[in-house]
């Protein structure tokens, strides 16, 4: 009577088997989901509540992307970094274009406004993703497509929910909540003290 083959003998010489996902990669996925969700909720909420992004949000994204760009450009050689660098330059492109004097009905103004939306909603997660790949190189190699998809879905759900909360803030917040937090009162807020 022979004993069943050990795990080692079953996997020995088999290059077809997928590498096991490590607990560290699961933790890294969780950290990235949380960081991206934290970064996306406030811009999405302000877009819902005020119908615009605040300048400090856009400039925070710009500062983070410049920091990430420096990390990418000075990381040890070995991997192509051109696409990462180009993605991280988008917020700087928006900032440079913002200095161009334009009329409000100019087509380039619409393009710059759309670029601002892109910067506020998409560059934040992209910057965090690039930093995660730099800090945890195995994040891109050891994370399954399913987990990557999970990251994207989680961030989209948080962004959409935050926008909906902002658009419906009068149902659970008062004008006093906005004032006490140092924000202006969005249109349609319910008068009253902080809840």
Express each pLDDT in 58-108 by its tens digit. Answer: 888 889 889 888 888 887 766 667 877 888 888 888 888 778 787 777 788
- In the chain, where the domains are located: 24-168
Which DSSP helix (H) or strand (E) runs through 155?
helix 145-167
Distance in angstroms (rounded) separating the CA atoms of residues 140 and 152? 14
Express each pLDDT in 15-67 by its tens digit. Answer: 444 445 566 667 778 888 898 898 889 989 998 999 988 888 888 888 988 98
- Max CA separation in the chain (angstroms): 86
* Half-sphere exposure (Cβ direction) of 108: Cα atoms closer than 13 Å: 10
Which DSSP helix (H) or strand (E) runs through 71?
helix 55-74
Rounded to an integer, what is the distance from CA 123 to the centroid of its chain? 6
């Amino acid at each position: 009577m022979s004993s069943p083959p050990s795990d080692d003998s079953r996997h020995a010489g088999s290059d077809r088997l997928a590498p096991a996902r490590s607990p560290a990669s699961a933790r890294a996925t969780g950290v990235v989901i949380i960081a991206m969700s934290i970064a996306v909720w406030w811009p999405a909420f302000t877009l819902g509540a005020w119908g615009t992004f605040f300048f400090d949000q856009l400039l925070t994204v710009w500062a983070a992307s410049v920091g990430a760009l420096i990390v990418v450009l000075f990381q040890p050689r070995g991997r192509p970094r051109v696409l990462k660098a180009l993605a991280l330059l988008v917020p700087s492109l928006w900032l440079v274009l913002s200095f161009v004097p334009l009329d409000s009905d100019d087509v380039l103004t619409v393009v710059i406004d759309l670029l601002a939306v892109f910067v506020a909603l998409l560059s934040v997660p992209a910057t965090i993703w690039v930093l995660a790949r730099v800090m945890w190189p195995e994040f891109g190699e050891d994370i399954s497509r399913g987990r990557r998809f999970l990251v994207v879905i989680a961030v989209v759900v948080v962004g959409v929910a935050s926008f909906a909360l902002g658009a419906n803030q009068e149902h659970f917040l008062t004008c006093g909540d906005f004032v006490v937090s140092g924000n202006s009162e969005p249109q349609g807020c319910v008068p009253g003290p902080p809840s």
